Amino acid sequence: MLVVTAESSIAMSCLAVGRIADNQPLSLALVEHGVPMKIVNLISVNLNKVFDLRKLRPGDGYEVRYGSDTSFEYFELRRSRWERYIIKRGRDSILVLKDTIPLVKVVCAASGVVKHTLWESMIKAGVEPEAILRFTDVLAYDFDFVTDTRDGHKFKILYEKQYFGDEVVGVGRVLAAMYETRKKKFVAIYYEDPDGRAGYFDLAGKSMKKSLLKAPLNYRRISSHFSTHRFHPILKRYLPHLGVDYVAPKGTPVVSSGNGVVVFAGWARGFGNFIRIKHDNGIETSYGHLSRFARGIRKGVRVRRGQVIGYVGATGLATGPHLDYRVKVKGKYVNPEKYAFPAEPPVKRKYMENYRKYANSVLTATDIFSKVGEHKSEKS
């Protein structure tokens, strides 16, 4: 919304008010409101001093006031009731203010037994949805919660809640995640060593993060597993199927399962819209039958693990929406469901004793807090 108001018989003041849309930079939002480029550049340069513009979210509100002669007056970015950033003209300079109210961190824990689905069971245990997603992300390199979750499995989580007054307004870091099947127990502890390296590690100090994610999307089921002799539903003959077919609704986001460089993004006959990514350690991944590519995905682009690269479709030879996902290691196709991908470096040997003590204290806290509820800690 752009409003022009008369402040005197000579000068006019222009007001632009709006909210950030999906994938919309602040500068583009302001330009679309008719804010002069001179003002847009002034705002961008000064706002960057107190706020990382890459962290802008859809729904963030903004307000700009400037004169009809393009003289800057005032800018405000409102991200929440407790976070806003202000730029205004002072007597002799531009003032930049960060107006934030500290949130109170509360450490809490929950535990339970899976019945029907992990999601329902953790919600019933009082865990916030965002914390559940982070819990599964932490353990996603070693366990597939879509296909392998069973009734009777056990879970524990220690995590931070963020309070604004008496209201829970966010979820902080997951400090510990534990999941136990009938055969195996998975434990991940968040730890930052004295050198500043942080991550999730198991009880032996090995990194939970592998070179590739277990699966590159949230899917409903697997329609075809890795096989050297599968009957093709369209070609009606037996052929190798050197990947995994994940069935998911059309438009489901597909992410890169590791850091790497896109070496192909285009049409590949039977695979339809197709992406191939080269990773470290001689690993390549490919993603077929996509409905479309994500913005900016093209040959030569570097992508991050977990970055959206495309969307599920049924292009090429496909009977319905699904992702054909394949992995090569040193030129040879491997079964991504079973292959043991290399992990990132473990806790440094010189910090292992420190890590063991810390991990034990976290596990003890998890048992205690899951019984008593919450523990208030420092303000964030």
User: Is the model's pLDDT at 186 over the cut of 50?
Assistant: yes
User: Is the model's pLDDT at 208 over the cut of 80?
Assistant: yes
Q: Which helix (H) or strand (E) holds 178?
A: strand 167-180
Tell the burial category of 104 from Cβ atoms under 10 Å away from its Cβ (0-12, 13-18, 19+). middle
pLDDT score recorded for residue 209: 85
Q: In the predicted model, what is the mean pLDDT of residues 268-272?
A: 91
Q: Give the separation between CA 373 and CA 189, rounded to whole angstroms.
A: 20
**79-83, 325-329, 374-378: which has the minimum mean pLDDT?**
374-378
pLDDT score recorded for residue 377: 47
Greater confidence (12 vs 60) lies with 60
pLDDT score recorded for residue 137: 86
pLDDT score recorded for residue 351: 95
pLDDT score recorded for residue 223: 53
pLDDT score recorded for residue 216: 78
pLDDT score recorded for residue 379: 47
pLDDT score recorded for residue 228: 54
Instruction: Say how many residues make up the chain.
Output: 380
- Yes or no: domain 104-209+347-379 corresponds to CATH 3.10.450.350: yes
pLDDT score recorded for residue 7: 46
Q: In the predicted model, what is the mean pLDDT of residues 128-137?
A: 91
pLDDT score recorded for residue 218: 62
Is pTM beyond 0.75? Reply is no
Tens-place pLDDT, residues 92-120: 889 999 988 888 888 999 999 999 889 99
Mean pLDDT for the chain?
A: 86
Listed by start position, the domains of the chain span 2-100, 104-209+347-379, 221-334
pLDDT score recorded for residue 3: 53
DSSP per-residue string spanning 205-238: S-BS-BSS-S-SS--SEEEE--EEEEE-TTT-SE
Tens-place pLDDT, residues 32-54: 988 999 999 999 999 999 999 88
Q: What is the CA radius of gyration of the chain?
A: 25
Tell the burial category of 181 from Cβ atoms under 10 Å away from its Cβ (0-12, 13-18, 19+). middle
pLDDT score recorded for residue 112: 94
Would you tell me how many other CB atoms lie within 10 Å of the CB of residue 346?
A: 15
Tens-place pLDDT, residues 217-257: 765 556 565 455 555 555 555 556 678 888 888 999 999 98
Q: In the predicted model, what is the mean pLDDT of residues 6-24?
A: 75
User: Is the model's pLDDT at 76 over the cut of 70?
Assistant: yes
Phi, psi of 337 (to 5 degrees): -75, -25
- Max mean pLDDT among 11-15, 126-130, 217-221 falls in 126-130
CB 80 within 8 A of CB 169: yes
Tens-place pLDDT, residues 338-380: 777 778 899 999 999 999 999 999 988 887 655 545 554 444 4
User: Is the model's pLDDT at 311 over the cut of 80?
Assistant: yes
Q: Give the separation between CA 323 and CA 247, rounded to whole angstroms.
A: 7
User: Is the model's pLDDT at 78 over the cut of 50?
Assistant: yes
pLDDT score recorded for residue 9: 41
pLDDT score recorded for residue 47: 93
Task: Retrieve residue 48's tokens.
Answer: 């960057």
* Number of alpha helices (DSSP H) and beta strands (DSSP E) in the chain: 5, 24
**Residue 276 pairs with which residues in a beta bridge?**
264, 286
Tell the burial category of 169 from Cβ atoms under 10 Å away from its Cβ (0-12, 13-18, 19+). middle
Would you tell me how many other CB atoms lie within 10 Å of the CB of residue 250?
A: 12
The vertex-187 CA angle with 181 and 191, nearest 5°, equals 170
pLDDT score recorded for residue 318: 85
Write down the CATH number for the domain with range 221-334: 2.70.70.10
The vertex-159 CA angle with 365 and 344, nearest 5°, equals 95
Write down the CATH number for the domain with range 2-100: 3.10.450.350
Q: In the predicted model, what is the mean pLDDT of residues 254-274?
A: 93
pLDDT score recorded for residue 236: 54
Instruction: Kindly give, in sequence order, each residue whose CB lies less than 8 Å from that of residue 93, ignoring residues fewer than 6 positions away.
Output: none
pLDDT score recorded for residue 227: 55
2-100 and 221-334 share one fold: no
Q: Which amino acid is at 356?
A: R
User: Is the model's pLDDT at 185 over the cut of 60?
Assistant: yes
